[in-house]
Amino acid sequence: MPSATFDPNAPDPRRRRRRWPKFAALAVLLALIVAGLWPRPLPVETAVATIGDLRVTVDEDGRTRVRNRYTLSAPVSGQLIRPPFKAGAPVEAGKTVLAAFETAAAAPLDARARAQAEARVQAAVNARDQAQARLRAAGTTGELAATELRRARELADRDVISAQELDTAVAREATAREELRAAEFGLNIATFELAQAEALLGGHATEDGGAPLLALTAPVGGRVLRVFEESARLVPMGAPLVEIGDPADLEVVIEVLSRDAVAIQPGADVVLDHWGGDEPLRARVRLVEPAGFTKISALGVEEQRVNVIADITDPVELRPTLGDGYRVEARVVTAKAKGVLTVPGGALFQQAGRWRCYVVADGRAELRDVTPGYSNGLTIEIREGLAEGDEVIVYPGDKLSDGARVETLRVDNTR
């Protein structure tokens, strides 16, 4: 039986078994180092491009005011009897006596003053006749506008005319209705001014033979908005006494920047928020004043602004406590787009003179050129470059680049 020989140069198998755990630990350490240094996906907020309706608005503060208001002034100099009314008191046209004068203190009418008073009476008669003619013309225009609106609605039900043409007919009928109310108000004022002019020619004495009294009745119905003279005293001719109007007949004055006023057209829809009620109110632009004015902003910057006048179209029952001079927040609609592709406005940015955005594709950011359309500040229309369902990155940071790995956090773009 051959004997085993010992070779001192042969490798020791026990040494090999002691060496492999060191290599394994080194490999694990290298893997951890690589994993720690490997770039991680950037967390980004994303939103989905969707098809929907877009409404572009001009948002500014506004204030309400009574559309037709009338300031009652003293027709002659005399001793004013203390008025019995306070602000908010109801008045009835032609019946409620708002002010009374003792005209003994007034200078008597000489031949020249009497001739002037008679001429004023004749001018008031002509003004009343003119107001009556305007009322008849406004009534005819209103009937025509109402007929055109009925026809437009019938044609719209049969899809013969567009929605824009129907909106134009609605706006024309509303404007004609308001012009009719204004003509009625103008006739009431003309009638009252005629009574004032006739009152200058004489008054009537009291039952006890005292100084003659001159009574001024309300020219229109409504409420007392303001009392200028609350005490009995001698007032000069032309002094304002009482301001009256109908608080239910309100309009809204919106001060907008002149560059925004260029895009606002009469008949545009207006939404009134934060007026004190639970639901927004609807209004419609009646007039964009042709002349602007300079106003100093809260930051001390001079701004050119324009008054936009809007009529509240919601019934009085929805705004019973809204009065004259109240603050509202108005959103004037300048453009509408239906069935368009929209994304949040923060997804787009300008680069190299082009509009671009990042789209998430297979876990990476893909840079695309897009063509934007209408924008309301929060949402923007995309005309080219994206498709419905594309996931865009909102507010991309400077670290984001084309092809970078991203980790998405979905946000809501339906606001």
Give the per-residue SS3 of 99-135.
EEEEHHHCCCCCHHHHHHHHHHHHHHHHHHHHHHHHH
Alpha-carbon distance of 344 to 394, in angstroms, equals 7
Q: Which CATH architecture has domain 56-64+248-337?
A: Beta Barrel (2.40)
Query: What does the CA dihedral 141, 145, 151, 153 come to, rounded to 10 degrees?
Result: -170
Quote the pLDDT of residue 131: 82
Residue in this structure with the two tokens 């350490």, named with its chain if needed: 29
What token pair was written down for 23?
A: 């290599």
Tell me the chain's radius of gyration from C-alpha atoms. 39
Check: CATH 2.40.420.20 for 43-54+338-410? yes
**From CA 78, how far away is CA 45, in angstroms rounded?**
76
pLDDT-flagged residues of the chain (< 70): 1-20, 22-25, 31-39, 103-114, 116-117, 192, 196-213, 410-415
pLDDT at residue 297, rounded to an integer:
83
Strand pairing category for 250-257 and 240-245: unpaired
For the chain, domain boundaries:
43-54+338-410, 56-64+248-337, 71-244
User: How many Å is the maximal CA-CA distance in the chain?
Assistant: 169
Beta strands, E only, 25-121: 42-48, 50-66, 69-73, 78-80, 90-91, 97-102
CATH hierarchy code of domain 71-244: 1.10.287
Report which of 296, 298, 326 is spatially closest to residue 312, judged by C-alpha positions. 326
The Cα 340–Cα 343 span in angstroms is 10
CA distances from 32 to 37, 38, 59, 64 (A): 9, 10, 56, 69
Nearest of 66, 68, 72, 70 to residue 240 by alpha carbon: 72
What integer pLDDT is reported at residue 404 of this predicted model?
87
User: Whole-angstrom Cα distance, residue 14 to residue 16?
Assistant: 5
Are the C-beta atoms of residues 311 and 283 closer than 8 Å to each other? yes
What per-residue confidence (pLDDT) applies to 280?
Answer: 92
State the pLDDT at residue 1: 47
Please give the structure tokens belonging to residue 279: 């639901």
In angstroms, rounded to a whole number, what is the distance separating the alpha carbons of residues 307 and 161? 32
pTM above 0.85, yes or no: no
Give me the pLDDT at residue 106, please: 47
